[in-house]
Amino acid sequence: MSFQVKATQHVLAVRDLEKTEQYFVDMLGFSVRFRVEGWSFISLGDFHVMLGRCPDEMPASDTREHSYFAYVNCEDIDDLYAAYQQRGADIFQPLCDKPRGMREFGVATPDGHRMMFGEDTEQAGGR
């Protein structure tokens, strides 16, 4: 089998599309790639998300531990964490080193979708 994954896009059902898009842009530093009726396509570098308006759906926060949707491997995690703190992002797990060799923190969206940001401690200079 010869194929190559070029990119991934996470699809999130959100109750208030405009509010959620604004949160991703203002708090998390995403940019809007484009919009079509009921959808917003946003990115943070190579991390792509499709936000879809679903006002009558159960919010992700009601799924509790099943609300995780992404783990984002990144560089300069301390700077990213500081920026998110300064902007007032909803950080549900503070920055910490994990025994599995990752330095990570967690952020939640207005609907309660959770994503983790992590950096390999080997790449981060073995903190």
Residue/partner pairs of 21-27 with CB below 8 Å, 24 or more apart: 21/51, 23/109, 23/110, 24/49, 24/51, 24/109, 26/87, 27/84, 27/87, 27/88, 27/89, 27/90
C-alpha closest to that of 72 among 45, 94, 98: 45
Task: Write the pLDDT tens digit of every residue in 67-96.
Answer: 999 999 999 999 999 999 999 999 999 999
Domain boundaries, the chain: 9-120
| Stated pTM of the model | 0.89
* Cα of 16 vs its chain's centroid, Å: 17
pLDDT(124) > 60: no
- Domain 9-120 has what CATH class? alpha beta
* Cβ contact 32:23 at 8 Å: no
Q: Is the pLDDT of residue 127 over 60?
A: no
